[in-house]
Amino acid sequence: MSEVKSIAGQDLREMFSAAASWLEKSAAEIDALNVFPVPDGDTGTNMMLTMRSTMEEAYRAPDHSASGVAHAMAKGALMGARGNSGVILSQIWRGLAQDLEGKESFTAAELASALQQSTLVAYRALSDPVEGTILTVMKDAAAAAQAQVAEGNDDIIDVMEATVNAAGDSVANTPSLLKVLRDAGVVDAGGQGLYTILDGALRYLRGETELMRLRKPQIIVSELPYAVSLSQAVGIEEVPYGYCTEFMLKGEKLEPDDIKKRLEKKGESLIVVGDDSTVRIHIHTLNPGAIVRFATKLGTMHQVSIRNMDEQHQDFLEMQKDRMPVTETAVIAVVSGDGLTDVFSSLGAASVVPGGQTMNPSTRDLLQAVESTFSEKVILLPNNKNIVLTANQVQSLTQKSVVVVPTETIPQGVVALLAFDYEADFKTNADIMARALSSVRSIEITRAVRSSRINDLKIKRKQPIGLVDGDLVAVGDSNLDVINQVLARLDLGEAEVVTIYYGDDIELDEAEQIGASITERHPQLQIEVIRGGQPHYSYIISVE
Amino acid sequence: MTVKIVTDSLSDITSDLAGELGITVVPLYVRFGEEIYRDRVEITTEEFYRRLVSESTFPSTTQPTPNDFAEVYNNLARETDEILVIVVSSKLSGTYQSATQAKEGFEGKCRIEIVDSLSVAMGMGLIVISAAKAVQAGANLDEVTRLALGAVSRSHMVIYFDTLKYLAKGGRIGKARGLLGSMLSVKPILTMKDGELAPLTRMRSLSAGMDYLYNAVADVPRIDQLAVEHTTNPADADAMTERLSAIYQKGHIYRSDISPVIGVHAGPNALAVSLLEA
């Protein structure tokens, strides 16, 4: 592929014009992602309209240098900015324009530097920047550009590729930074919008304009498993949201920083951006009248929009209710290993307390988890023999109703959680889950910490050993050898599903080989191999 | 004159049964890309599932038009002056709206009542069957409407899905969305609750799922009507019917295949049991 060493004003305009069209194609899908800060459900549309205004101004610009185009874009964006994300987008162009000031064209290094400036200006626009939003995506994208340049890469396409990839990863990661996204099972809409714009620009640079006509932008899917909040998080407290008030203020000798200070106490989510003749203001306030009175003293108001967010919030709550299975009971599990944590949260555990063999959580850790869940009724899964007693202490320390289902192994915890009945009440669920424990056998493979002789087995230090439901029953030279010995002792006639969770010291290859060897001997079994990432246990195997 | 019973194709009433009980079935539309078929008229349920599994185009279903209902009302109005329409849950499909719009535009003298079954497949089918039987026994429109409304709250359905794959692709899944994203392969058990699909629990194997369905029926002390349905696996449904016949000896267990609107989410190898409590 051809290399691009520098970009002039004309190309800057064309690449973001292509990006704007690219964004238009997925505006509706981005709207559907929107849950933050209030669900106005139109982030995609807002960004699209902001981009339209941005590019219209860019085409009107008399100055065709990179600097001239960037300044026109910043002006157009500010004039036409809609919604929170639109205003932040306008600040991204503003940062770009500031850094490209006076430049005919720009290189990869200059682009990376301009993206850094965009990040700075965008963060500065918000009095209380929140991570897991478009801001984070901008920051991560700019950092990737900088890293490419630092490696000595001067091809703008390469740099943009790294930027777009980083933006995509960052979008996928937004749910892990922001709980509202996690609960709704979506990525941040504004971040997705920015990713789409950067992706569109890159595609233009690669010469894919024909292809762009046929294709649609990709909507990033959250990497996190969609963890159902079993507790009903919504509707607990009635926070008044007031009115989302947005307008453009035109006047003379306006002082954005001063305006920002004056408005800070009048509401939430305040954004004030602009220059001495044009200032765009966005605020969530209970008293829009006061804001309007203040503004009209300073100049004239344009594009005024005042919307009742409580109405929007009601709609949002309804939408959330539809999305969540409504149950009053929260399940909290003690788990170690990132893979196993994902397994439990994907199956609907409200939260996971880190811990297990040799790292037992304290009563306080468990109590804290119980207290911080929204639900008044909690089922605890200790998942380890040594934690059951600790878990039992929690009941007497909290006002909440707590039942411990005494799971002694991870496989028992999984079958208990799976058996959770969405329609059953608290006590019935505790019974159902306790009854499920007998349907599983738990195999744990670990290494002997010292030489010894137990159950007639002669064990050398560091040799793989196998336990079934906590009893040491096998020792051998390899993990596979021990697993085969253990399985030979079990009656697999009634078994249907074998799940192999491999630990943090094991490679996928080995785990799959073990899975394959079990399939060979027992073709009727359904085998699943899943990364558990747990410490100490090379394998935890459940036989259901 | 006797009341005429009208339902839509999502009731899973077979054409034989419809003929026997004098039920008029209005088909929904099944769409694969640009191709549109009338459900159970121009595309069989077997064909639907064959294409669901083998083709990359994900099908969708569309409600009958108000005109489809108007035609049926007009035809029936020549034979009767009372019509009861029982349709799929208004939360799953716009069929209820079409039936209502047709009623509003209807100019004949015939009285028309419309009941939202809040259910689908045989969960609705059993309501339709008991209404048709009441009509055969001589019930008038007011009586049979009251009976159908009563049956709505006594209708229960438990569905076993063999895979989450199709649930993830589909649209209107309401609270069943909570089942998505599981890292283990699980086989969800769902029900119809307040007119929508809602999760009950999860199983790890077909046999465990079949046990759950069996127990769900066995736990109901008095059963008036019972039905078993499948998507692509008649043998499993037959085995289930066989098992259930041991605890439900008094009557016939209806057999059918699951309608596309649930089928697009359920995918192959799904099973459903529906019952009307006595």
Q: Could you report the per-residue pLDDT of B184-242, keeping only the tens digit for each?
A: 888 999 999 989 888 899 999 999 999 999 999 999 989 999 999 999 999 999 999 99
Task: Calculate how close chain A gets to B202, using CA atoms only, in Å.
Answer: 6
CA-CA-CA-CA torsion sign (B59, B64, B67, B73) = positive
Answer whether residue A235 is part of any domain: no
Q: Taking CB atoms and an 8 Å cut-off, how many pairs form between chains A and B?
A: 74
Strand partners, B132: none
Answer whether residue A336 is part of any domain: yes
Q: Could you report the per-residue pLDDT of A439-480, keeping only the tens digit for each?
A: 999 999 999 888 888 888 888 989 999 999 989 999 999 999
CA-CA-CA-CA torsion sign (A218, A222, A223, A225) = negative
Q: List Cβ neighbours of A146 (8 Å cut-off, separation of 6 or more).
A: A112, A113, A115, A116
Q: List Cβ neighbours of B160 (8 Å cut-off, separation of 6 or more).
A: B187, B188, B189, B203, B206, B209, B210, B212, B213, B270, B271, B272
Instruction: Please tell me whether residues B52 and B160 are part of one structural domain.
Output: no
Instruction: Please tell me whether residues A41 and A124 are part of one structural domain.
Output: yes
Instruction: Please tell me whether residues A350 and A434 are part of one structural domain.
Output: yes
Q: Does the beta carbon of A463 lie under 8 angstroms from any beta carbon of chain B?
A: no
Instruction: Please tell me whether residues B193 and B102 are part of one structural domain.
Output: no
Q: Could you report the per-residue pLDDT of B12-43, keeping only the tens digit for each?
A: 999 999 999 999 999 999 888 778 899 989 99
Question: Residue B201 and residue A228: Cβ atoms within 8 Å?
Answer: no
CA atoms in the 13 A half-sphere facing the CB of B89: 23
Q: Could you report the per-residue pLDDT of A374-421, keeping only the tens digit for each?
A: 788 999 999 998 899 889 989 988 999 999 999 999 999 999 999 998
Say if CB B84 and CB B5 are below 8 A apart.
yes
- For residue B207, the chain A residues in CB contact (below 8 A) are 496
CB-CB: which of B183, B193, B208 is closest to A346? B183
Answer whether residue A90 is part of any domain: yes
Q: Could you report the per-residue pLDDT of A320-377, keeping only the tens digit for each?
A: 444 444 468 899 999 999 899 989 988 888 888 988 877 888 888 899 889 888 788 9
Answer whether residue A226 is part of any domain: no
Q: Does the beta carbon of B182 lie under 8 angstroms from any beta carbon of chain A?
A: yes
Q: Which of A513, A487, A485, A501 is nearest to A540 (CA)?
A: A501
Between A25 and B11, name the one with better pLDDT: B11
Instruction: Please tell me whether residues B246 and B133 are part of one structural domain.
Output: no
Based on its alpha-carbon atoms, the radius of gyration of chain B, rounded to whole angstroms, reads 18
Domain stops at, among B138, B153, B168: B153
Q: Which of B194, B116, B101 is nearest to B149 (CA)?
A: B116
CATH number of the domain to which B201 belongs: 3.30.1180.10
Give the count of domains, chain B: 2
CATH number of the domain to which A461 belongs: 3.30.1180
Instruction: Please tell me whether residues A66 and A141 are part of one structural domain.
Output: yes
Q: Which residue in chain B has the smallest CA separation from A525?
A: B205
Q: Residue A257, Cβ neighbours under 10 Å: how many?
A: 9
Instruction: Please tell me whether residues B115 and B190 are part of one structural domain.
Output: no
The proportion of chain B whose per-residue pLDDT surpasses 90, expressed as a percent, equals 68
Instruction: Please tell me whether residues A172 and A77 are part of one structural domain.
Output: yes
Q: Could you report the per-residue pLDDT of A192-201, keeping only the tens digit for each?
A: 999 999 999 9
Using pLDDT thresholds of 50, 70 and 90, give the confidence band for residue A227: very low
Residue A497, SS3 per DSSP = strand
pLDDT of residue A33: 75
Tokens of A155: 């091809």
pLDDT of residue A371: 85
Question: Residue B193 and residue A423: Cβ atoms within 8 Å?
Answer: yes
pLDDT of residue B60: 78
Question: Residue A325 and residue B202: Cβ atoms within 8 Å?
Answer: no
Instruction: Please tell me whether residues B222 and B168 are part of one structural domain.
Output: yes
Tell me the residue range of the domain where A273 lies. 243-317
Instruction: Please tell me whether residues B39 and B103 are part of one structural domain.
Output: yes
CATH number of the domain to which B39 belongs: 3.40.50.10170
Residue type, B164: L
Q: Does the beta carbon of A418 lie under 8 angstroms from any beta carbon of chain B?
A: yes
The structure tokens 């500065």 sit at A124
CB-CB: which of A346, A422, A496 is closest to B182? A346
Give the count of domains, chain A: 4
Question: Residue B184 and residue A347: Cβ atoms within 8 Å?
Answer: yes
Q: How far apart are CA A419 and CA B208, in angstroms?
A: 11
Instruction: Please tell me whether residues A300 and A413 are part of one structural domain.
Output: no
Q: Does the beta carbon of A496 lie under 8 angstroms from any beta carbon of chain B?
A: yes
∠ CA A468-A473-A475 to the nearest 5 degrees?
A: 120
Q: Does the beta carbon of B215 lie under 8 angstroms from any beta carbon of chain A?
A: no
Element (H, E) at A313: helix A309-323
Say if CB A106 and CB A7 are below 8 A apart.
yes
**Interface predicted TM-score of the whole assembly (ipTM), two decimals:** 0.81
Q: What is the DSSP string of A151-179?
A: TT---HHHHHHHHHHHHHHHHHHHHHH-H
Q: Which of A332, A319, A307 is nearest to A433 (CA)?
A: A332
Q: Does the beta carbon of B181 lie under 8 angstroms from any beta carbon of chain A?
A: yes
Answer whether residue A178 is part of any domain: yes
Backbone angles phi, psi at A105, to 5 degrees: -145, 175
Q: Residue B34, Cβ neighbours under 10 Å: how many?
A: 6
Q: Does the beta carbon of B211 lie under 8 angstroms from any beta carbon of chain A?
A: no
Domain stops at, among B118, B153, B188: B153
- For residue B193, the chain A residues in CB contact (below 8 A) are 423
Q: Which residue in chain A has the smallest CA separation from B199?
A: A422
Characterize the bridge pairing of strands A329-335 and A377-381: parallel
Q: How far apart are CA A411 and CA A389, in angstroms?
A: 19
Task: Calculate how close chain A gets to B205, using CA atoms only, in Å.
Answer: 7
Strand partners, A329: A377
Instruction: Please tell me whether residues B106 and B134 are part of one structural domain.
Output: yes
Q: How far apart are CA A303 and CA A309, in angstroms?
A: 18
pTM of the full predicted structure? 0.61
Tokens of A31: 């709207």
Q: Residue A508, Cβ neighbours under 10 Å: how many?
A: 10
Tokens of A153: 């890469």
Q: Does the beta carbon of B57 lie under 8 angstroms from any beta carbon of chain A?
A: no
CB-CB: which of A226, A325, A346 is closest to B175? A325
Task: Calculate how close chain B gets to A320, using CA atoms only, in Å.
Answer: 10
Q: Which residue in chain B has the smallest CA separation from A439?
A: B208
Instruction: Please tell me whether residues A352 and A313 are part of one structural domain.
Output: no
CB interface of A with B, residues 425-454, below 8 Å: none
Instruction: Please tell me whether residues A387 and A530 are part of one structural domain.
Output: no
Domain stops at, among A270, A296, A317: A317
Q: What is the DSSP string of A32-77?
A: HH--SSS--S-HHHHHHHHHHHHHHHHHH-S--SHHHHHHHHHHHH
Average of per-residue pLDDT across A25-34: 80
pLDDT of residue A322: 45
Q: Which residue in chain B has the smallest CA separation from A500?
A: B184
Query: Which one of A228, A232, A320, A425 makes the best mutation probe of the B interface by having the most chain B beta carbons within 10 Å?
Result: A228
Q: Residue A210, Cβ neighbours under 10 Å: how many?
A: 8
pLDDT of residue A265: 85
Q: Which residue in chain B has the smallest CA separation from A223?
A: B181
Question: Residue A418 and residue B186: Cβ atoms within 8 Å?
Answer: yes
Tokens of A197: 């714009």
Answer whether residue A460 is part of any domain: yes
Distances (CA, A) of A101 to A65, A96, A104, A106, A469: 10, 9, 9, 10, 69
Answer whether residue A346 is part of any domain: yes
Domain stops at, among A174, A194, A214: A214
- For residue B204, the chain A residues in CB contact (below 8 A) are 418, 496-497, 544
Domain stops at, among B153, B169, B188: B153
Strand partners, A334: A353
Instruction: Please tell me whether residues B16 and B145 are part of one structural domain.
Output: yes
Q: How far apart are CA A416 and CA A437, in angstroms?
A: 6
- Give the number of residues written for chain B: 278
Q: What is the DSSP string of A232-279?
A: --TTSS-----EEEEEEEE-SS--HHHHHHHHGGG-EEEEEEE-SSEE
Instruction: Give the rounded distance of the alpha carbon of A461 from its chain centre.
Output: 43
Backbone angles phi, psi at B107, to 5 degrees: -110, -5
CATH number of the domain to which A353 belongs: 3.40.50.510
Strand partners, B155: B276
Q: How far apart are CA A265 and CA A123, in angstroms?
A: 19
Say if CB A543 and CB A495 are below 8 A apart.
yes
Q: Where are the beta strands (DSSP E) in B155-195?
A: 155-160, 187-193
- For residue A343, the chain B residues in CB contact (below 8 A) are 183-184
Domain stops at, among A409, A438, A467: A438
Residue A350, SS3 per DSSP = coil
Instruction: Please tell me whether residues B196 and B64 are part of one structural domain.
Output: no
Tell me A126's DSSP state.
B
Task: Calculate how close chain B gets to A230, using CA atoms only, in Å.
Answer: 9
Instruction: Please tell me whether residues B224 and B119 are part of one structural domain.
Output: no
Based on its alpha-carbon atoms, the radius of gyration of chain A, rounded to whole angstroms, reads 29
Q: Which of A137, A128, A186 is nearest to A165 (CA)?
A: A137
Q: Which residue in chain A has the smallest CA separation from B176?
A: A325
∠ CA A110-A58-A18 to the nearest 5 degrees?
A: 80
pLDDT above 70 for B181: no
Q: How far apart are the first and last CA of chain B?
A: 28
Instruction: Please tell me whether residues A10 and A119 are part of one structural domain.
Output: yes
Instruction: Please tell me whether residues B149 and B262 are part of one structural domain.
Output: no
pLDDT of residue A201: 96
Tell me the residue range of the domain where B240 lies. 155-277
Instruction: Please tell me whether residues B131 and B13 are part of one structural domain.
Output: yes
